[in-house]
Structure 1
Amino acid sequence: MIKNIRTKQAILIGAVVLLVAFLFTRDIKGLVKPKEETNSKAAGGPMASQAPATAEINLKEVSTVAKNTINASLAAEIVTLENAYTSASEDKKAAEAKLLAKKWDDLEQTVPSALYLEIVASKEPTLNNWLTAGDTFMKAFDNTRDSVLLPALLQKANFAYTNAVKIDSNSNDAKTGLGITIVNGMGAPMSGIAMLMDVVKKDPKNLKANMSLGTFAMKSGQFDKAITRFQNIIAMKPSPEAYFYLGTAYENLGKNTEAIEAYEKSKKLAANATLSKFIDDKVNALKNKK
């Protein structure tokens, strides 16, 4: 029994890691410096112990590393924009930060882009600005394999979505983002799930909330629930991610025929050589189990 459970966990972890690596992963080296330890009792209360240790992302270091990954002419453009931001008066900094965020986003460098979007939101605190910052921090969170950077990005996303909810407590986008950060480690997981369930109750076709509930169901071993969730997502909008996760859930339940069908559909939609090779190997292995 224990062996079967461990096998299922290995299947789940391996499949999810491969999907994330294919769809989302970027190599980002450690750029986070922990803040000096604070007196948690003084800061206090029971809630203080629920959040992970705070970390600060150094914008200058992030930008320097990112500039080293692009060609010299593009790096020079970034430097010009950075100089304009630095020399801008306070009432102009938000506009300059938007330009930097857009440029970094165009270059697929989500961490510096998110940090500049956070600056924009702090200076122009609108619902959309905080949502955009939160979404970009979560994109960076999904992209990175840096174990030190992950909690800092999650905290940043949580902060952004918290501010969005303060502006509009009825915003499904804000509640979904906040719920995702809570379940991922920023508080009590069940409160985050309850928040996501509330979003889906009000908006059954909310893909982001449904996808999150599906992946969380898989992580907790509730594969039957995950299958139902991913089937509903596919009925609304088929995607390689949804089919891949559906296949993984079926595989964990030993439903190899259904898993093969889902994996093949994921491969067809993704049309990616790396994922195709992985799925072909997986499908062959599942066929040999019959």
Structure 2
Amino acid sequence: MGILFVQPIKGLIKRDKEEAGHTANSNTTESPNSTTEQVNLATVSALAKQGLNPDLVGQITDIEQRLPKSEGKDRLDLLKQLAKHWDDLAKPAPLGFTYEELASLEPSYDHWLKAGDAFTLAYENMQDTLMAPTFVSHAQHAYQQALDLDAKSLDAKTGLGAAIVNGGGAPMQGIALLLEVVKEDPKNLKANMNLGLFSMRSRQFDKAVDRFKTVIEIQPSTEAWFYLATSYENIGLKADAIKAFQQSKVMAADPSLSQFIDRKIDELSK
């Protein structure tokens, strides 16, 4: 899933016994360095092309080479073609920059929201890299632009809230936005998932349990069951944790996750 706004399951597996209940390292508040300042469509495109089919790389490169000389409708058409390529290839970083460019030329709620969603996926997938702060910053900007065009958008408000928390500057402001979303829509999947994960980050595992139960009622998933189990474990409810881990394993498609869960169940059963 693309809704893990703090360290995903694979991060917990990697750390194994170190700190299985704590889903994220502290957010960094460091200023972007020269590396992150150079993150743009060209740099993320070069990275995204690595390992792709040469024919696809050629098609994308052709569009990129035509962009600088294009304008008006031709430029919009080229950007939309480029966005489709990156979307089809599930490459969120260049997709985010492409939609951002589209939105700057043809401002619309849809373009800004798609830019924000793409940057969110980018920082989730690359949170351990120097590029992550740049993606978080661009996500915040895109969601704010979307909200300016549609102040009632719960999707934009949820995305902005999560990005603000992950930006590390004013986490309570981001949490407040997410709480506004669940107040209006108590069954909002993304907002509840984020609030659950952020409760884990602050080690408020009792609150996390309630959030993940709500998520599971809406849409059961490997991740939701796993985080519910981890929250139960951290408040000492071993039997409940085992049951939740077992549910997570049933839905898991990753053998390494299943092995990790087996170890956790063995530990909790002793």
Q: Into which bin does the TM-score normalised by the smaller protein fall?
A: 0.7 to 0.9
2:135 alignment partner AA: L
* 106-115 vs 60-69, greater mean Cα deviation: 60-69
Q: Report the Cα distance in structure 2 between the residues aligned to 1:55 and 1:144, rounded to whole angstroms.
A: 16
User: Deviations along 1:10-50, whole A, 9 cap, x unmatched?
Assistant: 1224xx47xxxxxxxxxxxxxx9638xxxxxxxxxxxxxxx
The alpha carbon displacement at 1:124 in A equals 1.4
User: Deviations along 1:204-231, whole A, 9 cap, x unmatched?
Assistant: 1110111111111110011001001111
User: Deviations along 1:130-180, whole A, 9 cap, x unmatched?
Assistant: 111000100111111443111000000000011111111111111111111
Q: Do the aligned partners of residues 168 and 111 (structure 1) sit closer, same or farther apart at CA in structure 2, a change above 3 Å counting?
A: same
Match of 2:242 among 243, 256, 260: 260
Q: Do the aligned partners of residues 212 and 145 (structure 1) sit closer, same or farther apart at CA in structure 2, a change above 3 Å counting?
A: closer
Secondary structure of 2:19's match?
A: helix
Q: Report the Cα distance in structure 1 between the residues aligned to 2:153 and 2:168, rounded to whole angstroms.
A: 19
Match of 2:131 among 149, 162, 167: 149
Larger Rg: 1
Match of 1:11 among 15, 20, 25: 20
Q: Does 1:285 align with 2:236?
A: no
Residues 117, 129 of structure 1: 8 Å contact kept = yes
Q: Report the Cα distance in structure 2 between the residues aligned to 1:265 and 1:257, rounded to whole angstroms.
A: 13
Q: What does residue range 217-236 of structure 1 map to in structure 2 within 5 Å?
A: 217-236=199-218
Q: Residue in 1 aligned with 2:182?
A: 200
Q: What does residue range 21-170 of structure 1 map to in structure 2 within 5 Å?
A: 34=34, 55-170=37-152
Q: Report the Cα distance in structure 2 between the residues aligned to 1:11 and 1:277, rounded to whole angstroms.
A: 14
The alpha carbon displacement at 1:273 in A equals 1.6
TM-score (structure 1 length as normaliser): 0.79
* 120-129 vs 263-272, greater mean Cα deviation: 263-272
Secondary structure of 1:271's match?
A: coil
RMSD: 2.0
Q: Do the aligned partners of residues 109 and 12 (structure 1) sit closer, same or farther apart at CA in structure 2, a change above 3 Å counting?
A: same
Residues 157, 177 of structure 2: 8 Å contact kept = yes
Q: Residue in 2 aligned with 1:189?
A: 171
Secondary structure of 1:12's match?
A: coil
Which sections of structure 1, spanning at least 5 residues, go unmatched? Answer: 1-7, 18-31, 36-53
Larger relative contact order, structure 1 or 2 (CA cutoff 8 Å, min sep 6):
2
Q: Does 1:273 align with 2:255?
A: yes
Identity %: 45
The alpha carbon displacement at 1:232 in A equals 1.3
Q: Do the aligned partners of residues 231 and 146 (structure 1) sit closer, same or farther apart at CA in structure 2, a change above 3 Å counting?
A: closer
TM-score (structure 2 length as normaliser): 0.85
Regions of 4+ moved over 4 Å: none
Which sections of structure 2, spanning at least 5 residues, go unmatched? Answer: 1-16, 25-31
1:67 alignment partner AA: K
Q: Residue in 1 aligned with 2:12?
A: none
* Equivalenced residues, count: 247
